[in-house]
Structure 1
Amino acid sequence: MAAVAAHYRDFLRLGAYPLAISTDSVYSHKVFAEVSPSAATVQYPLLSDRSGAIGRSYGVWDPKTGAFYRSTFIIDPLGRVRYYSVYPREVGRSVEEILRTLAGIQYGELTGEGAPAGWQPGMPGLKRDFSKAGTI
């Protein structure tokens, strides 16, 4: 969460509003907010889903642990999931890649072009030309 919190303004600049959801209770969240130095940097909602209903709805519920798999979703204003990633427990998420993906989605909507691998905001995109599909 702290990594997302460090980039909170970057998300807002892109018109995105992060939130975190966990199976921890609101009481755990309260203790976290009171004792963790990193909690002071979290400026977005931290939701409690004790029943796991949200995690089940998004397919990230781990019945063995009774918790969510660490995952990220980008949901557009129409409620469509535009991107998701489920991370292995051993691997942390890359907030920079999430921001790049969000910017790429927005770039594509604005220009009709694709954001190729390694694309960064400000770089040109790829024109979609399906007439060349299947030709090498």
Structure 2
Amino acid sequence: MAAVAARYDRFAQVGAEVLAISTDSVYAHKVFAEVSPSARKVQYPLLSDRNQEISRVYGVLDEETGAAYRATFIINPQGRIEYYCVYPREVGRNVDEIIRVIQAIQYAAATGEGVPAQWHPGQPGIRRDFERAGTI
């Protein structure tokens, strides 16, 4: 959450809405916001999934501990999940990569082109030409 909060302006620049969802209670969120300098930077909704319903539906609930795994979901304006990543507990998010994926999804939607690995805005996409498939 801290990494996302620190780069929230970049998410806003690409038109993304950010939500954080935690299995912690709203009271734990309140205490966290009061004592953590990084939590004070959060400018987006932090939702409590105390009943674990959201985490279970999205398939990220660790049933043994009752806590959700750290995960990122990119959902398009039509409500379809375009991308998701579930991180091992020991691994933090790569916020720059999440933003790059959002930009790539937006580029593909606007142009109909795919994007290659390591693509960044301003670089060309890949034109889909199914008639040439298997000829190269």
TM range (shorter): over 0.9
RMSD over aligned CA atoms reads 0.9
Query: In the alignment, is residue 89 of structure 1 matched against residue 89 of structure 2?
Result: yes
SS of the equivalent of 1:83 reads strand
**Aligned ranges 1:20-39 → 2 under 5 Å:** 20-39=20-39
Query: In the alignment, is residue 61 of structure 1 matched against residue 61 of structure 2?
Result: yes
User: Structure 1: 5+ residue runs without aligned partners?
Assistant: none
Q: How many residues are aligned here?
A: 136
1:56-114 per-position Cα deviation (integer Å, ceiling 9, x unaligned): 11111110110111100001111110110011112111000000000000000111111
The match for 1:2 is: 2
Q: CA deviation at 1:13?
A: 1.3
Letter in 2 for 1:30: K
The match for 1:134 is: 134
User: Structure 2: 5+ residue runs without aligned partners?
Assistant: none
Letter in 2 for 1:72: T
1:20-77 per-position Cα deviation (integer Å, ceiling 9, x unaligned): 0000000000000111111111101110001110011111111011011110000111
Q: TM-score, normalised by structure 1?
A: 0.96
In structure 2, what is the Cα distance between the partners aligned to 1:71 and 1:63? 15
Letter in 2 for 1:73: F
SS of the equivalent of 2:38 reads helix
Q: TM-score, normalised by structure 2?
A: 0.96
Query: In the alignment, is residue 113 of structure 1 matched against residue 113 of structure 2?
Result: yes
